[in-house]
Structure 1
């Protein structure tokens, strides 16, 4: 619950920016451009936060593996909350000129840096407290903090969006960002009471008892886990692309198609409420069916449903718009996203898992979630705003690429993870350290059995 609440608060801050990028920032920070260019620039700053995520993953992943998960989770929460409050206080282009978008970009980078460490830590705190057969449900509950944060953000933003346009753009949009200060305090109170991950503590104690000097986790990942990282990145692109496709691009597209700001926000909020429960549902089902079947079903659904999504938005009715958001978020993204975090986490052992999970997820997040609204907006702009099928083809192709990663990976759901593998034996048998099994290429360990060392598989 502590991981879930903390993730909710951090994603409230991070995704609130996506709503503001669609509705506010083009009018206040990029006013010297035509409307389409201003929107592209606003989504460009949205993407910048994702490019900062891998750096945060490297830094916080390193210290998360060195000093523990709990301390890092407190640090990332403070950084995220501070950046969000400062965005709410930021002067506009009319007040300080070009410094306004520059400062906006700097604060967005700080947000990305913070969440680069947040996701991995929150995921692992939940996974490493769970029983092997219940990891999918435990981690998916934390993952549902993402849509919960989106719901919280849109619920707070919606009443202010109903203000007259002048008042909303003057001060109304700032209040949700300033509320982050209160949410940060709540999150800190919760996370301060959480105990360290028992699996991490077991790995640390084993290292101490064997008098081993701890290496640099990132270097271990680079040397021995390249295939795990690659398959995790490719598989993570589609679910992460669909998350911001709905939260940022589809919201903006709905407004350009004639829906009001308030109507679009309400439809997205309802879809995100459903998304909270489908994420946990599909994550829990992955404990029974395996991660891969759920994610493959989601990728195929994405390739099919992306087409009616655009047709539904163009209908002009609220019910059709709501169905479009439901197809994109609770169904397509939920099927893939509910199992994705556990699927990635199961690829790495505890001593380097924070670094491995954080780096893998954040690279996928940068390529998928960070770039997809910008690419989609650019494709729509290149067609003169009249060919949304170009955008549909792009997202269909993204799903096809991730589907290949799921198909060619090895199912590992529910397996116990070896936290004290003998590194000397790995040196004697480098094919294990590199995951170069003749049948598979790198990944997490097999289930533990007495007197048997783990073997890496995807």
Structure 2
């Protein structure tokens, strides 16, 4: 452990400032990340893999979406170390700049017709950079907001990170609504590039917002007193490996998001033949509903505990995915909208609004960002390839959606087992999080 002196820690946190910074930064960051998923489902099979048959081209395009998740575990080790050794703020500034640059460059890429195999190769490289950025984004923002929050409202304030993520998905999907309405020639030549070029604002806006944010009082206090771990990852796997494993398994719930966002959209448009515009609207409306549902679910978790809310959401998603994919296969737009909005807007929010606090509360300050980053990004990497697995499972004609729903349900059940076996942490003081045993305080903490 380092005993180097540090500046005096801030006594009181700034939960609102930290939450707003997390929200805005995550919205900008995940706008970039999600427009890639939409483009992979609608455009990239024709722009970067035109020589393949339609089914193979779609599979390859969706696979490039998963590549971004493959880079996440690698980035998590690096950015986790930086965040736990040098501060949360440095990670947040780095991630938003890298994501903005990589996404802008995707919009500048030549097509396969212009550059041959070099085009998809460059696409994969930029997707890897996106994944590297995303590997530290949520863990950094969650650690920042959790450590600024009063003890009895940690779930509420950390839920702003995921609200920002949902807002980014709304913006990313909405950006493709006018683009998707373009004639096919215009869409494939220049239209798809516009949402990527718009990400230039990420570099400027995100940098300014996060440079102004203070370091967390918990991190500053740790640096000034007990000191910081010189090698946080070593300490993490020595003392907290069970928590890391639990977070990996619990993070498989992200399969619901990747199947909903990428596979279901591709299944609806490319296989069933549904119009892409209403399918894009399903995602927009579901995420609008989620903006309200996330803080409500988080507030409930601050009152009754993390586990009951989390587990209810996971089981609900396992059931509703059958209804959503079945509605798409039947071509019933009314059911598609109703089930899609209920599942992704409301039920999935019961998991999405809780995990930023629940996962972070499994770790001590010295290793919190590393633990969250590594645990979630390994789980998310598996979830990121679920659309590729799903595309392989649904048969050569792409019509066998039931195995895809079963796959999603299995991942949801793994999440349930991981969450159920964990410790309830909603009454544990922030300074005692990650300790063994982490006994709850006698009285409920009072809001600072």
Work out whether the TM-score is over 0.5: yes
2:160 counterpart of 1:124:
no
2:418 to 402, 405, 423: 405
Per the TM alignment, residue 381 of structure 1 is displaced from its structure 2 partner at its CA by 2.9
Q: CA RMSD in A?
A: 1.8
SS at match of 2:430: coil
Q: Which stretch shows the higher mean deviation, 127-136 or 386-395?
A: 386-395
Aligned to 1:387: 400
Aligned to 2:368: 353
Q: Is the 8 A contact 1:245 1:372 kept in 2?
A: yes
SS at match of 1:400: helix
2:327 counterpart of 1:334:
no
Per the TM alignment, residue 343 of structure 1 is displaced from its structure 2 partner at its CA by 0.9
CA distance in 2, matches of 1:189, 1:95: 37
2:256 to 242, 256, 264: 242
Q: Is the 8 A contact 1:309 1:327 kept in 2?
A: no
CA distance in 2, matches of 1:259, 1:279: 30
Per the TM alignment, residue 10 of structure 1 is displaced from its structure 2 partner at its CA by 0.6
Aligned to 1:134: 153
Aligned to 1:396: 409
Q: Where do 1:23-62 residues align within 5 Å?
A: 23-62=42-81
Unaligned residue ranges in structure 1 (runs of 5+): 422-431, 438-444, 450-458
Q: Is the 8 A contact 2:229 2:235 kept in 1?
A: no
SS at match of 2:225: helix
Aligned to 2:296: 281
2:287 to 266, 272, 277: 272
| Larger RCO (CA under 8 A, 6+ residues apart) | 2
CA distance in 1, matches of 2:382, 2:262: 15
CA distance in 1, matches of 2:85, 2:23: 23
Per the TM alignment, residue 44 of structure 1 is displaced from its structure 2 partner at its CA by 0.9
Per the TM alignment, residue 408 of structure 1 is displaced from its structure 2 partner at its CA by 1.6
**TM-score, scaled relative to structure 1:** 0.89
Unaligned residue ranges in structure 2 (runs of 5+): 1-19, 443-448
CA distance in 1, matches of 2:348, 2:402: 20
Q: Is the 8 A contact 1:36 1:381 kept in 2?
A: no
Aligned to 1:263: 278
CA distance in 1, matches of 2:49, 2:338: 32
Q: Is the 8 A contact 1:257 1:316 kept in 2?
A: yes
Per the TM alignment, residue 320 of structure 1 is displaced from its structure 2 partner at its CA by 2.0
Aligned to 1:371: 385
Q: Which stretch shows the higher mean deviation, 78-87 or 228-237?
A: 228-237
Q: Where do 1:219-230 residues align within 5 Å?
A: 219-230=234-245
CA distance in 1, matches of 2:54, 2:115: 20
Q: Where do 1:88-99 residues align within 5 Å?
A: 88-99=107-118
Q: Is the 8 A contact 2:427 2:441 kept in 1?
A: no
Aligned to 2:195: 176
CA distance in 1, matches of 2:433, 2:31: 37
Per the TM alignment, residue 229 of structure 1 is displaced from its structure 2 partner at its CA by 0.6
CA distance in 1, matches of 2:104, 2:78: 23
SS at match of 1:215: coil
CA distance in 2, matches of 1:329, 1:190: 29
Aligned to 1:13: 32
Cα-to-partner distance string for 1:336-362 (whole Å, 9 max, x where unaligned) = 111111110000011111111111111
2:208 to 172, 189, 197: 189
Write out the 4+ residue segments of structure 1 that deviate beyond 4 Å after TM superposition.
none
**TM-score, scaled relative to structure 2:** 0.91
Q: Is the 8 A contact 2:317 2:409 kept in 1?
A: yes
Q: Is the 8 A contact 1:221 1:352 kept in 2?
A: yes
CA distance in 1, matches of 2:103, 2:423: 40
Per the TM alignment, residue 316 of structure 1 is displaced from its structure 2 partner at its CA by 2.4
Cα-to-partner distance string for 1:204-236 (whole Å, 9 max, x where unaligned) = 11135xxxx733000111111110011111111
CA distance in 2, matches of 1:118, 1:408: 27
Q: Is the 8 A contact 1:199 1:419 kept in 2?
A: no
Q: Is the 8 A contact 2:307 2:419 kept in 1?
A: yes
CA distance in 2, matches of 1:52, 1:108: 9
